[in-house]
Chain A
Amino acid sequence: MSAEQISLIGERAIFRPRSRLWEFHDLHVPFDELARSAVYERRAITRLTEGMCVAVIGPSGAGKSSVISWLCYQLPPSHFALRIPITAVNDPGNVGEIARLTLSITLDEIVLDALGEDELRRARAQSTTTVRMPTGVSAKLGGGVIPGEVSVNVASLSEEFTQNRLEGDYLLALNGRLVPVLAEAGVTPVFVFEDTEATVGGADDRERAEAFFAGPLSAFVEHVGAPTLVAVQTHLIEGSRAFGRLAPALERLTIPVLAELARPVVDAILARRLMLADLNGQITGIVESAALDELAEFYRQSSGDLRRVLAAAHEAAEHAAAEGAELISLPHVRFGIAQWL
């Protein structure tokens, strides 16, 4: 590999962990592929299409958002995923507020979808972060098209909602009126609650976490006839009674730490990013084998914190680029890891 290509990897931040949900799905290497199994993403897709709710569980940096983004883009055309920005709700235990927000986002998306599916696709293909439409910003993460007829059939619901005539029965309107109209048209929404930790508002706020599990999450899992896909931090569910009670109704996708496979995991994740950047060839031609071993060790030591592994790889690439190196070598990676210990 030439020094120019190494410099390109640093400059274009090819290894850097991504934070924008739209950028994840291409980069994600499914855990099923890494572990040669069918118990992670594959099973989750099956369960979602069967109508079951799925909780993606893992510590910070494990790859929950990547998994969720990937899952959304793998949905069959009969489904579409919507990110509900639940973090904006002040009280995470307030079922009505979260149902209201979901209703509002879904109704807007239906109008938006009818208006400009093509335009949306184009923007996504160019990885534009948000697409502006007359009604606001798209929350759609993937899946099929919402048929145009739906927007006609929800017109009266939409009007009542706008004029505040639902009298607070947002969950009822969502489940009793909106979801059936969609079902009739042959599509099912998948509601995505992606940032529970932020919603709860702090890592150690057990009480608020319990309120969220017992309130809105239970309501969506048990009463809404459409699947919910939720990301949950491992530490929030440890010893949680409310979450435990939901267990029979929830498929759990617990992100594994593939300690035995650490090196192939690191190789595959970095190789995927290089491939998407049109930098083909052996990964060991870009990152020295001993350096990859070091990153694999970091993956094991950090209990599978892929965000930090990638951040360290990115630091290493920048460091190598600054030196004009032709290979990202062990000292570069050690430097990178030191920044993220």
Chain B
Amino acid sequence: MLQGRPLYDTTADTRYNVPPAEWDVIVRSLDRGNNTLVYGARGIGKTTLLRQLQLTLRSRGARVVFVDVAAVAEPLELAVRVRDALKGGLGIPQDSLGSVTRAQQVAGDPYLARGGAPRLLHDMLTSLGEDVEPTTVLLDASASAHAIYGIFGRMRDTIWQLPHSWLVALDDSDRATALKPPADAFFDAVIALEPLSIERLLLILHKRTDELSSEVLSRIAADARGNPRAAIRAANDTLVHGVDPTGGLSARAHLLDAAARLGRPQGMVMAELLDIGQASPSDVALLERLGIKRARVSTLLQQLHDAGLVESAVERSNGPGRPRTIYRPALRGTP
């Protein structure tokens, strides 16, 4: 399964799913009825995350709907799509929203006309709470920052009156627009989807294909910069186009490859370094992730250094304490 499409909320797709590191935090947030915003780069797995959340919540008997509101320009259009998902309906085609008059005709209720567009939007939103049980609404909202702000910023108080709780997934670049005050106060939890670790990417690749060697998959994972869509596409390209991944090794893949030749622990340390950019043997987070002792990490980093695969620099803090050595992958000067 090496297509770039998101995973659906089906059991067939679930076997490919590798939940992101943030999964537990997000589920806990939703369990507490929090309005939650998640954001991350394109291809990081937002739609898959939402679909899998839908499956999980539904299997526990919760009421949940998934609404695709990608590339929606107007708050009213967004409201209509949510209404259709909550209540079932035909929706208003995007092009017929060119004028409010037309939208009013489609909405078909004569009293709406006299309050104008603001009244229509307000009524559309309040209707989301009528004849519907409290529901968790999952909004997949790439490239819809303006409409998201219109609903959760300007119409925040109206949304607050509804019995539902909301999870909105956004692209990184849309966050500032969508979270302008007062929308910032609407979301009880804002969670960043970080780039995936190389290990997690490997897990995803292994689940999806057994046609490529572990070595090839490692290189692909190292090169994907934490982006699962990029990793899956690269694996697919390798199979379809017969691209020899050893031919065009990037600097990152080259470093990982060379480190892995020194031994598995060295490869692991390099994978971590490529993920986090730089580290010192005294970094608690690094030690925890690797699960080995500090002295051992120190030795491994020194070996990588001796092999010319990492660079080191001494960092002096302004405060008390000894200066510490920082290691970075030796990427400088390479493309």
**Which residues of A are interface residues toward B (Cβ below 8 A)?**
19-22, 60, 85-90, 97, 100-101, 103-105, 107-108, 129-130, 132, 135-137, 161-162, 164, 194-195, 197-199, 201-203
Contact = CB atoms under 8 A, between A and B. Distances in A.
Contacts of A202: 153, 180-181
Given A129-B129, A137-B126, A195-B182, A89 B161 contact: no
Contact of A87 (B113, B116, B157, B161): B157
A199 B116 CA distance: 16
A104 B109 CA distance: 14
Q: In the complex, which of the residues A162, A164, A201 has the most CB atoms of chain B within 10 Å of its own CB atom?
A: A201
A198 B154 contact: yes
B251 interface: no
B130 interface: yes
A20 B156 CA distance: 11
Interface in B125-176: 126-127, 129-131, 149, 153-158, 160-163
B181 A90 contact: no
Given A88-B118, A162-B111, A164-B113, A203 B129 contact: no
Given A85-B122, A100-B119, 20 more contacts: A19-B157, A19-B160, A85-B155, A87-B157, A88-B119, A89-B118, A97-B118, A101-B118, A103-B115, A104-B115, A104-B116, A129-B162, A130-B126, A132-B131, A135-B111, A136-B111, A197-B182, A198-B157, A199-B154, A201-B154
Interface of B: 110-111, 113-119, 121-123, 126-127, 129-131, 149, 153-158, 160-163, 180-182, 185
A195 to B, nearest CB: 5
B75 to A, nearest CB: 9
A130 B119 contact: no
Given A85-B118, A137-B123, A203-B180, A130 B130 contact: yes
A162 B118 CA distance: 15
Contacts of A97: 116, 118
A162 B110 contact: yes
Contacts of B115: 100-101, 103-105
A21 B123 contact: no
A162 B111 CA distance: 7
B157 A201 contact: no
A182 B73 CA distance: 41
Given A60-B185, A203-B180, A203-B181, A21 B157 contact: yes
A104 B113 CA distance: 9
B71 to A, nearest CB: 20
A137 B112 CA distance: 12
Nearest to A166: B114
B280 to A, nearest CB: 27
A146 to B, nearest CB: 18
Contacts of B113: 162, 164
B111 A195 contact: no
A341 B328 CA distance: 34
A107 B21 CA distance: 53
B116 A195 contact: no
Nearest to B131: A132
B114 A88 contact: no
B199 to A, nearest CB: 30
A333 B130 CA distance: 38
B180 A104 contact: no
A194 B111 contact: no
Contact of A88 (B111, B155, B160): B155
A170 to B, nearest CB: 9
B153 A198 contact: yes
B325 to A, nearest CB: 32
